Amino acid sequence: QAVCGYGSQDALPFRAIKEGELYFQEDREVNLVDLALATNIPKGCAETAVRVHISYLDGKGNLEPQGAVPSAVSTLTDDLLKYYQHVTRAVLGDDPQLMKVALQDLQTNSKIAALLPYFVYVVSGVKSVSHDLEQLNRLLHIARSLIQNPFLCLGSYVRSLIASVMYCALEPLAASINPLNDHWTLRDYAAMLLSRIFWTHGDLVSGLYHQILLSLQKVLADPVRPLCSHYGAVVGLHALGWK
């Protein structure tokens, strides 16, 4: 937290105690006589100064030196672009074995951090294929692979993933018009995925717990909503746990 007050723009020094990992601000000695006889009376608070230290993790979990630009935030290379194209085509294509291999690699690859926003954008396409249960399932599979990849830090993309997953769970969907379409299984899978996102990445976004509960409660209490939406809210609440 920034400390406001009179003084220089230098960062406040912190010292560590020997007994544990505890840091405290080092108080400097102040000569009250000099302070009382000073002629330069401050007119107001000095501008807040913030000193920033940035560190990046490389693909092996090691800290890269400050100032270095990691591959994860650099511009997309041709290899990354080809990887993105091949994976999306494989997952959304007609070959189930190729889809399985692509999803497995998406779940374990340690060098695709730069592609995270692109894959999240693909998952957000659930609204455009609400008539196709197969495509909806595949987009949710992409979301699951991203969540389970230990090398990816989802950060602010958690909200976008949750919005896409909750869409599959709570919205009527064009595919649900046909009673022969098993959209109930899709909603079950989306509810399970919602729970997994929340319990593994929920701490990345403040207020996420109450936001999810409010959304589920709102749908459940709305008598205008169809049965399939109420069902999605129920399985969503059930997946989050009895508490």
Residues 112, 149: Cα–Cα separation, whole Å = 10
Tokens of 113: 């951090």
> Given this model, what pLDDT does residue 70 score?
42
Contact between residue 124 and residue 143 where contact means Cβ atoms under 8 Å apart: no
Domains of the chain from N-terminus onward: 71-240 (1.25.40.770)
Burial class, 181, CB count within 10 angstroms (exposed 0-12 / middle 13-18 / buried 19+)? middle
pLDDT digits (tens, 9 = 90+) for 92-123: 988 999 999 999 999 999 999 989 999 999 99
Residues 183, 169: Cα–Cα separation, whole Å = 9
Q: Give the side-chain half-sphere CA count within 13 A for 153.
A: 11
Residues 76, 220: Cα–Cα separation, whole Å = 43
Percent of the chain surpassing pLDDT 70: 79
Q: Give the pTM.
A: 0.67
Query: Which 3 state secondary structure label does DSSP give 243?
Result: coil
pLDDT digits (tens, 9 = 90+) for 128-146: 888 888 999 999 999 999 9
> Given this model, what pLDDT does residue 229 score?
94
Which residues have a Cβ under 8 Å from the Cβ of 49 and sit 6 or more positions away? 2, 9, 10, 11
112-116, 154-158, 203-207: segment of lowest average pLDDT: 203-207
